[in-house]
């Protein structure tokens, strides 16, 4: 969603080294900066995907992420990205959520996190975590609304014809995956 507002947000992908990074889904994207060279961000967004399972074993990466994210205005995650934030200690003492289809895994990464098993996304001070991929769209629209106003976010959702769920407690998936009673 940030990418549709290039005058307001500059998207910057970072990776192990500058250059192509292959997704577990096949396609490659280009990291503009290596972790070491990445400039200080305003907003951090950690995505999910199966690659998260390797990242949480990489202690150099987790230390780097903890330092890089520490001074930012907002640290966010989509899907199992909250498992990576948790492994880096960035969610200790925070309330957070994650993908309902894989909820046990992020929980295993953050024993000091107050995990919410039913939430579209969770806003806790400067740490916002969203559930499965599509929930990340709703959370990001809420981030944009907080910075640029509700009208900007609503216009953006209409322009891409996305039915925005504005209520962070809307979550029919928790029951589908047995995390609460339906």
Which of the residues are catalytic? 79
Shorter beta-carbon distance to a copy of itself: residue 25 or 181: 25
Overall size of the chain counted in residues: 182
Site residues for a copy of itself, 24-53, by CB under 8 A, read 24-30, 32
Q: What is the DSSP letter of 38?
A: P
The contacts of residue 161 (CB under 8 Å, 6+ apart) are: none
Shortest Å distance, C-beta 43 to a copy of itself: 14
Segment interacting with a copy of itself (CB under 8 A) among 57-65, 86-94, 142-150, 154-162: 154-162
> What is the Cα–Cα distance from 85 to 76, expressed in whole angstroms?
9
Element (H, E) at 153: helix 150-159
Q: Does 128 help bind a copy of itself (rule: CB under 8 A)?
A: no
Q: Does 173 help bind a copy of itself (rule: CB under 8 A)?
A: yes
Is the sign of the CA dihedral 130, 174, 51, 133 positive or negative? negative
Radius of gyration (Cα) for the chain, nearest Å? 16
Residue from 12, 54, 175, 180 touching a copy of itself (CB under 8 A): that is: 12
Q: Does 11 help bind a copy of itself (rule: CB under 8 A)?
A: yes
Of 138, 132, 116, nearest to 173 (Cα)?
Answer: 132
Q: Does 54 help bind a copy of itself (rule: CB under 8 A)?
A: no
- The count of chain residues that interact with a copy of itself, using the rule CB under 8 A, is 36
The contacts of residue 120 (CB under 8 Å, 6+ apart) are: 130, 131, 135, 138, 139, 165, 167, 168, 169, 170, 171
> What is the Cα–Cα distance from 111 to 90, expressed in whole angstroms?
12
Segment interacting with a copy of itself (CB under 8 A) among 62-70, 84-92, 140-148, 162-170: 162-170
Q: Does 133 help bind a copy of itself (rule: CB under 8 A)?
A: yes
Q: Which residues bind a copy of itself (CB under 8 A)?
A: 3-4, 6, 10-13, 20, 23-30, 32, 79, 99-101, 120, 131-135, 158-163, 165, 173, 176
């Amino acid at each position: 969603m940030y990418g549709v507002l290039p005058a307001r947000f500059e998207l910057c992908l970072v990776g192990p080294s500058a250059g192509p990074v292959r997704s577990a889904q096949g396609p490659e994207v280009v990291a503009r900066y290596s972790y070491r060279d990445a400039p200080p961000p305003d907003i951090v967004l950690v995505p999910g995907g199966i690659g998260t399972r390797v990242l949480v074993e990489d202690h150099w990466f987790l230390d780097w992420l903890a330092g890089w994210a520490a001074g930012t205005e907002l640290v966010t995650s989509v899907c199992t990205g909250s498992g990576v934030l948790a492994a880096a200690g960035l969610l200790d003492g925070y309330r957070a959520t994650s993908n309902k289809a894989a909820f046990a895994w992020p929980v295993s990464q953050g024993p000091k996190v107050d995990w919410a098993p039913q939430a579209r996304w969770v806003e806790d001070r400067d740490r916002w975590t969203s559930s499965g991929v599509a929930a990340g769209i709703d959370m990001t629209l809420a981030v944009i609304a907080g910075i640029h106003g509700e009208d900007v976010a609503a216009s953006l959702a209409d322009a891409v014809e996305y039915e925005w769920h504005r209520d962070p407690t809307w979550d029919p998936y928790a029951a589908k995956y047995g995390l609460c009673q339906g």
